Amino acid sequence: MGEPTFISCSAKRKLIQIPDQGAAVIAGYWSPELGLCTQSVLLKWKDGRISSLQPLRNLESCSEKKLPWDSYIILPGWLDVHVHLALDSLDFYQCLENWAHPSLIEENMKGYLQHYLEMGIVGIRDGGDLPGFSWLAKNRVNEGVWTGPKVISVHEAVNRAGMYGRFLGRGFKDILEWQEKERDFFDQGIDQLKVVVTGLIKFDDYQVVGPTQWTVEELRELVEAAHRRGILVMAHASGEEGISVAIAAGVDSIEHGYYMTTQHIELMREEKIAWVPTVAPIGNILKYPSDRYSSHEIDTLKRILETQLAKINEAYRLNVRLGVGTDAGAYRVPHAKGFYDELDWMAQTGIPKLEVYRLATQENARICGVPELGRLNIGTPMNQLQLVNDL
């Protein structure tokens, strides 16, 4: 017997320790590769990986000892493709002050990472923070010091100095400064490059977005610098101008993408650019009301939400690549739990539930550049899967 491993039981919000080799009767399975099976199945694994999945027509004929999983369906683990481990979803400004106390942030992140796995999330892509907390978390998980999902981290983002994103990265005053420091930036270690293309949307003014930070030519230079190194590029962009710049520069994914137009959607389909629409930061403010926002802001948020959901549906119908990302750490978007809100928001667009699940597994793994995740087939490691009660 080898070392025991764990499988996420998101149905019970816990991790289950399992032996290196074993068997269990399960109620069925689903994956993008194998489709949906709703009959009893004998699941076997060896060396921590699935070795067989066979329909169980005669329970009495199976004499080997089996784990009691007959109420569970097995699925690929989820991935959340846009999180901020260094933020706490409660108070942005207080959290930034807490960054002066690294031990506090590290303790928070350790808890978030454990919670992600307990809720079936086996991979996360972190959008960065200036002190490098998310990069630390990635390394702690890789070293086995912390328990958590696979962390894909941008380390820090590239933003224009003096503009939005000061908490995400050091800021570059112009493309010349970027050119001077490009090698050092990549040498610090990054899994993906994140570029802040625009500022934030405004909650009190519909269709108003913070200014675009880069020209098409400048952003293309940033993108090509990453692509030369085999690194994918995620772009924080909203508004007609900013999204247009991001598409023209050849980014790999557009994050948030509020005020997406039909023309944008068509161009993204042609260029195979993914869209991670992060509905929860807007939707959850409405779903979990507080007295933080004025009635005018709430009306604006409702309008933004309605527009975003409609455009996601349009993008899906036009076969644009879509990812499921929460912006976890943002106000009202708690780590791990917020992912289930995002699944619900995506389903509210009219995308069929199992298609939302495909986006949250297979497509999210592709967006993260880790295609080995988000799968369930023979050979898949058990610690990349999850047990649920129903679909």
pLDDT tens-place string over residues 360-383: 999 999 999 999 999 999 999 999
Best CA proximity match to 287, nearest among 275, 308, 277, 301: 301
**What is the pLDDT at residue 65?**
79
Beta bridge partners of 24: 43, 67
Assign 1 a pLDDT band (cuts: 50, 70, 90): very low
pLDDT number for residue 44: 96
Helices (H) and strands (E) in the chain, counts: 12, 15
Cα–Cα distance, 10 to 149 (Å, whole number) = 13
- Distance, in Å, from the CA atom of 221 to the CA atom of 233, rounded to the nearest integer, reads 12
pLDDT of 66 reads 85
- The pLDDT of 14-24, averaged and rounded, is 95
151 and 139 Cβ atoms separated by less than 8 Å: no
Contact 345, 127 (CB under 8 A): no
Sheet with strand 121-126: strands edge to edge? 78-83, 121-126, 150-153
User: What mean pLDDT, rounded, does the chain reach?
Assistant: 96
**d(Cα 93, Cα 108) in Å, to the nearest integer?**
16
DSSP string, 234-282: EEEE-SHHHHHHHHHHT-SEEEE-TT--HHHHHHHHHHT-EEE---HHH
- Are 117 and 149 a contacting pair, CB within 8 Å? yes
pLDDT of 249 > 80? The answer is yes
Structure confidence at residue 61 as a pLDDT band (50, 70, 90): low
Q: Does position 11 have pLDDT exceeding 50, yes or no?
A: yes
Alpha carbons 30 and 355: distance in angstroms, whole number: 11
Q: What is the mean pLDDT of residues 111-131?
A: 98
| Paired tokens of 259 | 């005020």
Burial grade of 352 (CB within 10 A; 0-12, 13-18, 19 or more): exposed
Residue 4 scores a pLDDT above 80: no
List helix spans (H) across the chain: 92-98, 102-118, 133-142, 175-187, 216-227, 240-249, 262-271, 280-287, 295-317, 337-348, 353-358, 364-368
Which residues have a Cβ under 8 Å from the Cβ of 275 and sit 6 or more positions away? 253, 254, 257, 260, 268, 312, 315, 320, 321, 322, 323
CATH 3.20.20.140 intervals, the chain: 78-368
Class of domain 5-77+376-388: mainly beta
Instruction: Determine the Cα–Cα distance for residues 189 and 79; give it in Å rounded to an integer.
Output: 22
End-to-end distance of the chain based on CA atoms, in angstroms? 33
Asked if 48 contacts 2 with a C-beta cutoff of 8 angstroms, the reply is: yes
176-202 confidence digits (pLDDT tens): 999 999 999 999 999 999 999 999 999
Q: Which residue has the higher pLDDT, 58 or 307?
A: 307
Please determine, for residue 244, whether its predicted confidence score (pLDDT) is greater than 60: yes
Which CATH architecture is the domain 78-368 placed in?
Answer: Alpha-Beta Barrel (3.20)
Evaluate if residue 311 carries a pLDDT over 50.
yes
Task: Concatenate the DSSP letters of all residues of 295-316 into one string.
Answer: HHHHHHHHHHHHHHHHHHHHHH
Q: What angle do CA 119, 122, 126 make, to 5 degrees?
A: 105
Region 314-331: mean pLDDT is 98
Answering whether pTM is above 0.95, one says: yes
Identity of the residue numbered 84: H
The structure tokens listed for 364 are 């999210």
* Range 281-291 average pLDDT: 97
- pLDDT surpasses 80 at 59: no
Cβ of 184: how many Cβ atoms within 10 Å?
Answer: 8
Half-sphere exposure of 279 (CA within 13 A, CB side): 28
pLDDT of residue 56: 82
Residue 231 — pLDDT band, cuts 50, 70, 90?
Answer: very high
